[in-house]
Amino acid sequence: MSSPQTPFGALAELKVVDLARVLGGPYCTQILADHGATVIKVEPPQGDEVRDWGPPFHEGDASYFVGLNRNKRSIGLDLSKPEGQAVFLRLLEDADVLIDNYKTGTLEKWGIGYKDTLAEKFPRLIHCRVSGYGEDGPLGGFPGYDAIIQAMAGWFSINGGTDREPTRVGIAAVDMGTGLYSCVAILMALFERAKSGQGQFIDMTLYDCAVSLMHPHISNYYLSGGQVPGITGNQHSNIAPYDKFPTKTAAVFIGAGNNRAYARLCNELGRPELADDPRFENNSVRVANRAELRKELLPAFAAVDGEELSLKLLAAGIPAGPVLDTGQVMNAPHTKHRQMVAKLDWYEGAGTPIKFSRTPGELRSTPPLFGAQADEILAEHGYDTDEIAALAASGGLVRERRKL
């Protein structure tokens, strides 16, 4: 297994200084790290707070942290101190990317903001900031959290069960979506820098990303003349049948997105006459009559085994799948076949979904303990033993997490 410093992968030799904590930023930098980037995780004196978001824990670090920080090295710096800032600036001397999610204005207050300092010192640096709402506008500067943004960006209003109670999406999809968008933005900026030779600032917000992901509801809103989309439960707002059905065993989810798939579904369920029923002959009338269609299909599903039916439908070209829990997913044969279970020493997690033919991503190192690689990182950047000791004595280098 190669070391974290060994150039390997599509992003080998890319250096990232990561000031981000919690989810969106760390998810972004983990993607970069999985594909060869050297990622130095610079943690504040209190550490990344998600180290405490458990149980469960491994050696004091919560699963929330463990799942987002593999293939990185950690150093603790107090950036409010001149000594910590000096180390930070040295780390940036040969860095390609800086990512942070400090409250807007924090780095500027410390004299290490992009516009006033970093752009001039490091003209090739790409600085990506992830914030809740940006630094200006009616909500500028306010803190942003996944569920709050979900509520404010309309996600609650279209998500929920048959009780029609607006509900949070069960994964931190705003944070993770912002991490993905940020990764794309960084790669775009690197592509542009290869031509211009110049870095730039990337302004990423949870709010913007959450709004952009509200598809097809925003398009539906505008094209319907302002009709506000509502909760459809497991059903799709634009397609029918697209729903979950109970069977003798596992529930299954069916997505028949066109007339051909719908006709095949009717045949496989032993109800071929439903394909020619005027109430269901095309998607538009199926959407209008979705309750009647569901009533017609329910008895056919109730009589069969869900997993067997799903495989049968898939073989017939009909999108279908059983409703599985996390344990079933991670033990599923196809999950293992696709190498979506990553293991190294004590660590187990989801593998990388990005599959390259020549430069695959890999799991090189387990998530770091707080400051575990501080001496190694400092030595690589020209600090000797006495200088490292002096940094620790000054408080600029943080050896142990400080309690809030």
What's the residue count for the chain? 404
Query: Could you state, in order of their start, the residue ranges of all structural domains in the chain?
Result: 15-213+337-398, 252-322
- pLDDT-derived band of residue 163, with 50, 70 and 90 as boundaries? confident
Q: Nearest 5°: phi and psi at 303?
A: -95, 0
The secondary structure of 212-258 as a DSSP string is HT-TTHHHHHHHTTSPPP---TTS-SS-SSEEEE--SSS-EEEE--S
Assigned superfamily of 252-322:
formyl-coa transferase, domain 3 (3.30.1540.10)
Spacing of C-alpha 265 from chain mean position: 34
Count the Cβ atoms, other than its own, within 10 Å of residue 238. Answer: 16
Closest CA to 175 of 166, 167, 183, 165: 183
Q: Catalytic annotation on 175?
A: yes
Residue from 18, 78, 96, 175 carrying the catalytic annotation: 175
Torsion sign over Cα 297, 298, 302, 307: positive
Q: What is the pLDDT of residues 170-216, one digit of tens each?
A: 999 999 999 999 999 999 999 999 999 999 999 999 999 999 999 99
Q: What is the pLDDT of residues 287-346, one digit of tens each?
A: 999 999 999 999 999 989 999 999 999 999 999 999 999 999 999 999 999 999 999 999
What does the alpha-carbon distance between residue 328 and residue 336 come to, in Å, rounded to a whole number? 11
- Residue pair 48/7 in contact (Cβ under 8 Å)? The answer is no
Contacts of 286 (CB under 8 A, 6+ apart): 240, 241, 262, 279, 280, 293
> For the chain, what is the radius of gyration of the CA atoms?
25
Residue 3 has pLDDT above 50, yes or no: no
Name the burial class of residue 333, with classes exposed (0-12), middle (13-18) and buried (19+) by CB atoms within 10 angstroms of its CB: exposed
Residues 253-271, mean pLDDT to the nearest whole number: 94
What does the alpha-carbon distance between residue 367 and residue 68 come to, in Å, rounded to a whole number? 8
Nearest-5° angle of CA 24, CA 20, CA 346? 80
The beta-strand segments (E) located in 90-141 are 97-100, 126-131
pLDDT on residue 124? 98
Residue 4 has pLDDT above 50, yes or no: no
Q: What is the pLDDT of residues 374-396, one digit of tens each?
A: 999 999 999 999 999 999 999 99
Side-chain-facing half-sphere of 379: CA atoms under 13 Å = 5
Residue 15 has pLDDT above 80, yes or no: yes
Residue labelled with tokens 């369920």:
269
Q: What is the pLDDT of residues 314-324, one digit of tens each?
A: 999 999 999 99
* DSSP run (H or E) holding 200: strand 200-205
- Residue pair 38/337 in contact (Cβ under 8 Å)? The answer is no
- Residue pair 317/265 in contact (Cβ under 8 Å)? The answer is no
- Residue pair 34/11 in contact (Cβ under 8 Å)? The answer is no
Q: Which residues, listed in sequence order, are joined to residue 201 by a DSSP beta bridge?
A: 127
Residues 357-367, mean pLDDT to the nearest whole number: 96
Name the burial class of residue 61, with classes exposed (0-12), middle (13-18) and buried (19+) by CB atoms within 10 angstroms of its CB: buried
Residue labelled with tokens 């593998």:
351
Closest CA to 154 of 143, 139, 142, 169: 169
Count the Cβ atoms, other than its own, within 10 Å of residue 2. Answer: 12
pLDDT on residue 271? 95
Q: What is the pLDDT of residues 37-71, one digit of tens each?
A: 999 999 999 999 999 999 999 999 999 999 999 99
What does the alpha-carbon distance between residue 400 and residue 56 come to, in Å, rounded to a whole number? 21
Domain topology for 15-213+337-398: Rossmann fold (3.40.50)
pLDDT on residue 7? 58
Residues 257-274, mean pLDDT to the nearest whole number: 94
pLDDT on residue 6? 52
Q: What is the pLDDT of residues 100-124, one digit of tens each?
A: 999 999 999 999 999 999 999 999 9
Residues 221-241, mean pLDDT to the nearest whole number: 93
The two structure tokens encoding residue 81: 């101190």
Residue 160 has pLDDT above 50, yes or no: yes
Residue 2 has pLDDT above 70, yes or no: no
Residues 11-25, mean pLDDT to the nearest whole number: 97
What does the alpha-carbon distance between residue 174 and residue 148 come to, in Å, rounded to a whole number? 10
